[in-house]
Amino acid sequence: MDTTKFLTQLKKQTPNEDEFHQAVTEVLESIEEVYNQNPKFEAHKIIERIVMPDRIIMFRIPWMRDNGDIEVNQGYRIEFNSAIGPYKGGLRFHPEVSLGTFKFLGFEQVFKNALTTLPMGGGKGGSNFDPKGKSDNEVMRFCQSFMTELYRHIGPETDVPAGDIGVGGREIGFLYGQYKRIVNRFEGVLTGKGLEWGGSWIRKQATGYGTVYITQHWLKEHGTDFKGKTVAISGSGNVAIYAAEKVMELGGKVITMSDSTGCIVDEEGIDLKVIKLIKEVERGRIKEYLESRYNAKYSDERNDVWKVKCDIALPCATQNELDIEAAKALVKNGVLVVAEGANMPVTADAVHYLLGQKIGMIPGKAANAGGVAVSGLEMTQNSMKFKWSPKEVDEKLATIMENIHEACVKYGKRADGYVDYVKGANVAGFLKVANAMIDHGLI
């Protein structure tokens, strides 16, 4: 494979999709060696096929504001790859998304889902709708309009969406209600559902907990644990909150969190009850934390989270939020490991820098796979019409994260003993999907 030539061609064919190119570049760089060692991959044109989604669905979403004004948003669902199971991946509602965002997220999802060892293909979707500042009724009308088109493309055995940025329990409820109303069936078509109507225990916590579980394995490999460690976390949404919760349970101290408008630093340790109240109940701004914790500091530069001295960094907000300058600041301050709770939060040059410095660098495909893993377990429970206890689900999640860690070590260990988790995750995920594609013939 001539990676440079291939990427030049891809960029020409898919202009203005920088995040997608970034995600593809990382995977191709990681798998080049194993790809070239196995001529069957080239013979079956696996790279050309794996970077192209099975299909892209784009649609109009008209909806009405409370005051009667009409709004129109763009909807997307990328059904990327179904070699190992039904398309599976979240929905993102955020004003800055584009086709390239969803292609990058869908592509990542294919390999991440393979790593979980569960039978799930990869997909992703959402809209440029911004839930911020909208009433509950407006969000409901938007979700109903979104599902009125999406329902015909999805199904429990076809494509099973879930939440992502801007899509939490409230949105999944509205989406599920509309699907059920249209098809007249109560079935496991979405994950992240409410506990009373088909949801799984631990789904809400799963991504954040999983990020911490895999980091715990990294620390164990290096003869240590979370006790007494200081941790910097970005974001204050679903992933960030439950990563913080698990860090604290394991004896670590979270000293900083952020949102899109700024960050807080609380050297005494973040009070998570206050964060949950602001973010989960009041849907407020992180600055409000200072009204309850007078000694904390606020900066309206959200990426200041990386300037704080910490042992462990967990970027849990959004893509490309930890750049080379931030990586250098972290290394200067003695960081041991960076684990991506979010999808691709560390820029490509920052990833290379961290790997060059032999800092632990656990990519999102591995580190945030806990969310989709428990979504897979939710699908299993729905099929069985049965529900496991919180303890059972948490144990299964912990086992899956341990297996992902093992796969990263197996495929990422270098001759000098350093484990390149980025390579390990990409190779493990790629092999599984590529071999399944070959088994299915030329489709």
E strand or H helix that includes residue 93: strand 87-93
Element (DSSP H or E) covering residue 400:
helix 390-412
Instruction: Name the residue with the smallest CB distance to ligand NDP.
Output: 237
Q: Which of 231, 239, 313, 361 binds ligand NDP (CB under 6 A)?
A: 239
Q: Is residue 215 near ligand NDP by the rule CB under 6 A?
A: no
Per CB under 6 A, 145 contacts ligand NDP: no
Does residue 124 have an active-site annotation? Answer: yes
Catalytic-labelled residue, pool 88, 124, 134, 396:
124
The residue among 188 and 341 lying less far from ligand NDP, judged by its C-beta, is 341
CB-based contact 202:390 (threshold 8 Å): yes
* Euclidean distance between CA atoms 108 and 124, whole angstroms: 10
* Choice between 47 and 400, CB closer to ligand NDP: 400
Structure tokens at 423: 């390579």
Q: Which of residues 80-109 bind ligand NDP (CB under 6 A)?
A: none
Taking the least distance from each CB to ligand NDP, the nearer of 166 and 412 is: 166
Pick the closest to residue 236 from 257, 212, 255 (CA basis).
257
Neighbours of 36 (CB within 10 A): 12
Helices 369-384, 203-221: axis angle to 10 degrees equals 130
Query: Judged by CB, which is closer to ligand NDP: 144, or 236?
Result: 236
CB of 374 to ligand NDP, least distance (A): 8
Looking at beta carbons only, is 83 or 240 nearer to ligand NDP? 240
Residues 21, 10 contacting (CB under 8 angstroms): yes
Contact between 394 and ligand NDP by CB under 6 A: the answer reads no
Closest approach, Cβ 42 to ligand NDP, in A, equals 32
Angle value at C-alpha 432, between 85 and 119, nearest 5 degrees: 25
The residues, ordered by sequence, that sit 6+ positions from 419 with a Cβ below 8 Å of its Cβ are 221, 408, 409, 412, 413
Q: Pick the piece of the chain touching ligand NDP (CB under 6 A) from 45-53, 225-233, 235-243, 432-440.
A: 235-243
Three-state secondary structure call for residue 16: coil
Q: In angstroms, rounded to a whole number, what is the distance separating the alpha carbons of residues 163 and 172? A: 7
Dist CA 204 CA 239 (whole Å): 8
- The reply to whether 317 sits near ligand NDP by the rule CB under 6 A is yes
Asked whether the CA dihedral 200, 277, 401, 169 is positive or negative, the reply is positive
The pattern of x and - marking residues 39 through 58 that bind ligand NDP according to CB under 6 A reads --------------------
Residues 325-364, one symbol each (x = binds ligand NDP by CB under 6 A, - = not), give ----------------xxx---------------------
- Return d(Cα 23, Cα 112) in angstroms, integer: 12
Find the shortest distance in angstroms from Cβ 189 to ligand NDP: 17
Contact at 8 Å (CB) between 427 and 30?
yes
302 near ligand NDP (CB under 6 A): yes
Q: Where are the beta strands (DSSP E) in 128-177?
A: 159-162
Window of 3-11, 315-323, 392-400, 403-411 that interacts with ligand NDP by CB under 6 A: 315-323
The DSSP 8-state label assigned to residue 49 in this structure reads: H
Cβ-proximal residues to 387 (8 Å cutoff; 6+ apart), any chain? 200, 201, 381
Among 368, 381, 382, 426, binds ligand NDP (CB under 6 A): 368
175-214: which residues touch ligand NDP (CB under 6 A)?
207
Structure tokens at 156: 């429990």
Q: Does 261 bind ligand NDP (CB under 6 A)?
A: yes
> Per rule CB under 6 A, is residue 238 in the interface with ligand NDP?
yes
Decide if residue 164 touches ligand NDP (CB under 6 A): yes
Which of residues 237 and 376 has its CB atom nearest to ligand NDP in the complex?
237
Q: Is 38 in the site for ligand NDP (CB under 6 A)?
A: no
Choice between 189 and 317, CB closer to ligand NDP: 317
Q: Do the bridges between strand 312-315 and strand 230-234 make them parallel or antiparallel, or are there none, so unpaired?
A: parallel
| 3-state class (DSSP) for residue 344 | coil
Cβ-based nearer residue to ligand NDP, 161 or 341:
341
Among residues 371, 412, 424, 429, the one that binds ligand NDP under rule CB under 6 A:
371
Catalytic residue positions, numbered: 124
Positions in the binding site for ligand NDP (CB under 6 A): 163-166, 168, 207, 235-240, 259-261, 302, 316-318, 321, 341-343, 368, 371
